[in-house]
Amino acid sequence: MAILVDEGTRLLVQGITGREGAFHTGRMLKGGTQVVAGVTPGKGGQDFEGVPVFNTVEEAAKETGANASVIFVPPPFAADAVFESLDSGMSTICCITEGIPVHDMLKVSNYMRVKEATLIGPNCPGVLSPGKSNVSIMPGDIFTPGNIGIVSRSGTLTYQIVNELTQRDIGQSTAVGIGGDPIIGTDFIEILKKFEGDPETECIVMVGEIGGNAEQRAAEYIQSEMSTPVVAYIAGFTAPEGKTMGHAGAIVSGGDSTAEAKSQALQKAGIQAATNPTEVGDLVARTLGV
C-alpha cells in the first residue's frame, strides 16, 4: 500500500511545456506514471509525448479524469496554479516551484482550510511510491518497493537516505518531500498520520533540518499518538547561527531551532535519532531485524 499516490493516480502536469515540466514529465512517463494531461495556457490542443495539453486545469480534469497535479509554474504564477488545482478537485497537489512569495503562500494556506485536498510543497521534490507512481523530481531508479515510509524537509537527503536503504535491500512504501519553505501545505504530523494508517508501512524515516519547531511538534505527536517506529535524522549541526542554509525555512535563530535541540527533543520522546544518513540505514535495519 502507499499514501497520496499509487496505481490509481491520474496525473496532470501544470507547466508541461516549460523546460522543467517537459524534462520531468518525460521521466515520470518512463517510470510508468499515468500522466493523462498537461496544462499550459495558450497551448491547448497540442500534445507532449502523447499527453494532451489543455488551456486550463478545469478543462483537463473534465476531459481526462485527472485526480492529482504537479506544478512546474514560475513563482509569480504558482499560487494561482495551486488555486486552479484546488478548485478543479485535485486530491493531491505537488508544488515543485521554488521562490513563491510568502504572502502568496499565506493566501494558499488560508484557502486550504476550506478544501479537502493535500498540498505537498512548495519548494519540494514531490511524492514517489516505488513501482506505483512518481509525482516528483526524485530519481526513481534508486527506489525499490517496500515497507519504509519517508517524510523529509530535504530533497537531496531524501535521495541519499533512500539509496542507503536500497543498498541494504530495504524498500520504501512512499517518500514524501514536504518542502523547506516557511509556509508549506503539509507538515510532518499530517504525513506521519497517513503512514500510521497504512498497514504496509512498518517503519518511518523522518528527515528534519534547522529552523522552526516542526520536528519538536512531530516528536510530541509520535510519542503520544503513534505505534509505528520512527527513525529520525536532523541536518545542520554545524550551521552557523543566523544564516539561512539552502531552504528559506532553514535558518537558525537560536533556542529550539538548532539541530542539537531538535535531536534532543526526538531522543527525549523515545525516537531513535541518527547522527548521519548512513546511520539511518543501520537503525532502520536494526528496527526491522534484518
| Contact assessment for residue 122 and residue 184, using Cβ atoms and an 8 Å cutoff | yes
| Nearest CA among 230, 236, 226, 239 for reference residue 266 | 230
Q: Is 103 a catalytic residue?
A: no
| Nearest CA among 173, 180, 208 for reference residue 194 | 173
Residue showing cell 503520544: 224
Orientation angle between helical segments 214-225 and 188-196, nearest 10 degrees: 30
Which one of the listed residues 247, 252, 261, 266 is annotated catalytic? 247
> What DSSP string runs through 95-157?
E------HHHHHHHHHHHTTS--EEE-SSS-EEEETTTEEEESS-GGG--EEEEEEEES-HHH
| Nearest CA among 248, 252, 249 for reference residue 237 | 252
Catalytic annotation, residues: 247
